[in-house]
Structures are given as C-alpha cells and as structure tokens.
C-alpha cells in the first residue's frame, strides 16, 4: 500500500509530463534544436538557485529563467558573427555554473542531487494538480497553433507568405519548451530533461508517416518509459530519473534494431 501511494502519483505525474514532452521533443528534433533544449535545461539550475536564494517559487523561477533565456537567444541569433551553437554553448554553461555558484551561496541545506537527477518519487497528490494544469495549458496552446507551427517548421518563408506570424510562433514554441523543461525537471532532473523530450520522439520517427503520428507514438513511448523506469527504480531501489531515461533509450535501440531488420527484409 505504501509502495502504491508512492508509485501512483509519480506514475500519473510522469505520464502527463511525457505527454507534453512528446510534441515539444518532436519540434526539437524537426528544428534541430537538441542543443537548444540542453541549454535551456542547464539554465534551469540557475532558476532553482534564484528561487532558493530569494525564497520564491522554484518552479516559477525555472520557467522565468528559461523564458528570459530563450528570448535572449532569439535576439542574439540576429547577429551573425557568432554561430548559434557557439552561443548556446556559452549560455548553457554560463548559466549552469552561475546556478551552481548561487546554490552554494544560499547557505541552505539544498539537495542539489534531487534537482540534477529528478525526484519524481517525491511527487505527491498535491503536486499533481499544478503539473496536470501546466501540461493541459501546453497541449491546448499546441492544439490551437498546430497548423502554424507545422508550417513554420517545414519552411519559414513559405509559412510567412501564407500568413503565419513566424516571429510569434517561434516565441510561443520557446515559451512552451521552457514550461516543459520546468515540468520535466521534476521527473528526470536537469541533466536528463532533453533526453525525456528527444528520445521518445526519435524512436517514434521510424513508424510515423505524418507529424501527428510521430507525436502520438512519442507520447506512448514516453509513458511506457515512465512506467518501466519507475517499476525498475522501485524494485531495485535505484534513482528514478536515470531509470526512466535508460528505459526510453532501450526503447529507442529496440526501435532502431527492428527498423534495421525490417529494412533488410524488404530489400
């Protein structure tokens, strides 16, 4: 009974987060922004540190820092002297280092590990309400703007000619990614956020014929990873975040393998 009360909220919260991570992970892959996801998640630690330092909501600060950072990146990318991957490298590690520095100054007994590697088993029924509402908000916005977001992803100029407000769509996508980063931090921890977004979507690519299929399959794989990871973590008493990512990775490798086999067969 104790196990179940530990397991169930974690499972429900984790699956909801995986549902938000699926479409945004797909966009990260389509737009080739895995490194952007990494930069955002590293900067999440800065948000944690600021939240603790000023006694503000940690989740709120994480989202705030991520949003500010994505806007800063968007503006910085307009100059062409330094490429965006170099910019991301600068910002990701600067904010990670600054976060670590600030966290050590807070003088509080901060369990950094729980932020770095996630703490999903500490999710209580009370946490679920805000997690689920945040996920619903992300999904609702995606639903409404889906045609525009797809058009922009396929071809920016064509989308612009056809009336998609490209700048605003990019901004929306960044803000939604920031919210998802804050959510995923709870599940797998700062260091593995991108994994939760990218791996299920990458596994889904093999079977998907349309973007919508890719997102749905990614969602299924994400939830499956959460379930398998939690089960594994509880059985052998291992940290849940890494277990979830290992599960997601295993699904990816199996998908790759089965794809390779079926390709060979069809030849």
Partner 1 sequence: MFETTETLLNLKQVSFQINQQSILSQIDLHLNAGEILTLVGPNGAGKSTLLKIILGLLKPSSGSIHVHPQVRFGYIPQKITLDPTFPITVRRYLQMARAPKALYKGVDYWLATLEIEYLASAALQSLSGGELQRVLLARALLRAPNLLVLDEPTQGLDMVGQQAFYQRLGQLREQLHCGILLVSHDLHLVMAATDRVICIHHHVCCSGCPEDVRQHPEFLQLLGAFPQPALAVYQHHHDHQHHLSGHVETVISGS
How buried is residue 234: exposed, middle or buried, by Cβ count under 10 Å (0-12/13-18/19+)? middle
Q: H/E/C letters for each residue in 172-189? A: HHHHHHHHHHHHHHHHHC
Among 29, 44, 184, 245, binds partner 1 (CB under 8 A): 29
**Is residue 79 a contact residue for partner 1 (CB under 8 A)?**
no
Measured from the CB atom, the residue of 106 and 153 that comes closer to partner 1 is 153
Shortest distance in whole angstroms from residue 99 CB to partner 1: 31
DSSP labels, 28-97: HHHTT-HHHHHHHHHHHHHHHHHHHHTT--HHHHHHHHHHHHHHHHHHHTTS-SS-HHHHHHHHHHHHHH
- The stretch near partner 1 (CB under 8 A) out of 28-36, 88-96, 108-116, 189-197 is 28-36
Shortest distance in whole angstroms from residue 157 CB to partner 1: 6
Q: Which two tokens stand for residue 209?
A: 């014929």
Instruction: Using the structure block, give the residue that is written with the tokens 């709120």.
Output: 60
Shortest distance in whole angstroms from residue 153 CB to partner 1: 7
Binding residues among 97-156 for partner 1 as defined by CB under 8 A: 147, 150-151, 153-155
Shortest distance in whole angstroms from residue 50 CB to partner 1: 35
- The stretch near partner 1 (CB under 8 A) out of 3-11, 26-34, 35-43, 61-69 is 26-34
DSSP labels, 190-247: GGGHHHHHHHHHHHHHTT-SSHHHHHHHHHHHHHHHHHHHHHHHHHHT--HHHHHHHH
Binding residues among 201-230 for partner 1 as defined by CB under 8 A: 205, 208-211, 213-214
Q: Give φ, ψ of 32 to 5 degrees.
A: 55, 55
**Is residue 53 a contact residue for partner 1 (CB under 8 A)?**
no
Measured from the CB atom, the residue of 44 and 204 that comes closer to partner 1 is 204
Residues that bind partner 1 (CB under 8 A): 29-30, 32, 147, 150-151, 153-155, 157-158, 160-163, 205, 208-211, 213-214
């Amino acid at each position: 009974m104790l196990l179940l009360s530990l397991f169930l909220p974690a499972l429900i919260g984790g699956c909801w987060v995986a549902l938000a991570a699926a479409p945004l992970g797909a966009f990260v892959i389509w737009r080739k922004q895995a490194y952007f996801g990494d930069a955002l998640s590293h900067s999440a630690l800065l948000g944690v540190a600021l939240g603790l330092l000023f006694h503000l909501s940690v989740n709120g600060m994480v989202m705030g820092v991520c949003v500010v950072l994505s806007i800063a990146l968007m503006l910085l990318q307009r100059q062409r002297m330094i490429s965006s991957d170099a910019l991301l490298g600068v910002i990701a590690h600067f904010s990670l280092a600054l976060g670590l520095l600030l966290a050590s100054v807070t003088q509080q007994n901060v369990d950094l590990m729980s932020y770095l590697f996630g703490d999903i088993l500490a999710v209580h029924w009370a946490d679920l309400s805000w997690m689920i509402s945040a996920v619903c908000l992300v999904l609702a916005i995606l639903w409404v703007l889906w045609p525009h977001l797809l058009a922009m992803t396929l071809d920016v100029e064509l989308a612009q000619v056809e009336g998609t407000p490209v700048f605003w769509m990019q901004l929306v996508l960044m803000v939604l990614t920031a919210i998802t980063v804050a959510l995923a931090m709870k599940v797998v921890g700062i260091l593995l956020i991108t994994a939760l977004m990218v791996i299920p979507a990458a596994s889904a690519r093999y079977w998907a014929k349309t973007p919508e299929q890719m997102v749905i399959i990614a969602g299924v794989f994400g939830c499956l990873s959460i379930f398998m990871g939690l089960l594994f973590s509880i059985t052998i008493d291992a940290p849940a975040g890494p277990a979830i990512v290992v599960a997601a990775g295993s699904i990816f490798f199996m998908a790759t393998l089965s794809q390779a086999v079926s390709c060979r067969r069809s030849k």
